[in-house]
Amino acid sequence: MLDDPVKLSALTCVCALLEQALPEREPQEVIYNATSALFDVFHLSDDCEQWLPIYLKWELGMLEALGFGLDLSRCAVSGESGQLDYVSPRTGHGVQAAHAGPYKERLLALPACLGGGRLLDNELEAGLQLTGHFLQKHIYALIHKDLPQARIRLAYLVTSRYNS
C-alpha cells in the first residue's frame, strides 16, 4: 500500500472517517465487518478502478449504519423503481433522469458503480462527490467540522489521476 499514493490515501481516509464519525464506546459490528472486508479488497487489487467503487459503497454503508442512508430504491418524484440517475442533495432520495426536470443541475449524479442508471465519464469522481456531500451534511456538520483532510486528499488524488 505504501507504493500507491491513492490506496494509501484511502487507508488514511478510512481511519480518519472512523475516528471522527463513530460515536464513542458504541459497538459498530456492521461497520467493523465492512471495514475488514474493505481492507481485504485493498490487498487483493492494485487497480484503483476495481477497489474504489467498493470503497464508495463502504462510505454509503457507513452512512446507512449511522442512520443516514440514502433511499435509492425508487424515484422520489414518480415512485417508480428502476434506473436512477440522480440523488437529491437535500433528501438523499434517488431521481430518474426523466423526472429531474428543471432541477437536474441541482441534483448529484448517481454513478453506475453505485447503482446509477448510466455510466458517467467521471464515475469515481462523481461517487466521491456524492458520498462526500452526505458525509459532510449528516455527520460532520453535526459535529461542526469539515470533512477530514484525508478525505479531501483522496478526492483530489482521484480527480487528478483521471483528469491528467
What does each of the 164 residues of the chain score in pLDDT, given as a tens digit?
778 899 999 999 999 999 999 988 999 999 999 999 999 999 998 888 899 999 999 999 999 999 999 999 999 999 998 899 999 999 999 999 999 999 999 999 999 999 888 778 889 999 999 999 999 999 999 999 999 999 999 999 999 887 65
DSSP state of 91: T
CB count in 10 Å sphere of residue 100:
17
96, 117 in Cβ contact below 8 A? yes
Convert the pLDDT of each residue in 109-152 to its tens digit.
Answer: 999 999 888 778 889 999 999 999 999 999 999 999 999 999 99
Read off the pTM: 0.93
114, 103 in Cβ contact below 8 A? no
136, 124 in Cβ contact below 8 A? no
CB count in 10 Å sphere of residue 18:
14
Contacts of 121 (CB under 8 A, 6+ apart): none
CB count in 10 Å sphere of residue 161:
14
Question: Can you name the CATH fold of 5-163?
Answer: de novo design (two linked rop proteins) (1.20.1440)
At residue 129, φ and ψ (nearest 5 deg) are: -65, -45
Cα–Cα distances in angstroms (integers) from residue 117 to residues 28, 75, 88, in the given order: 31, 12, 15
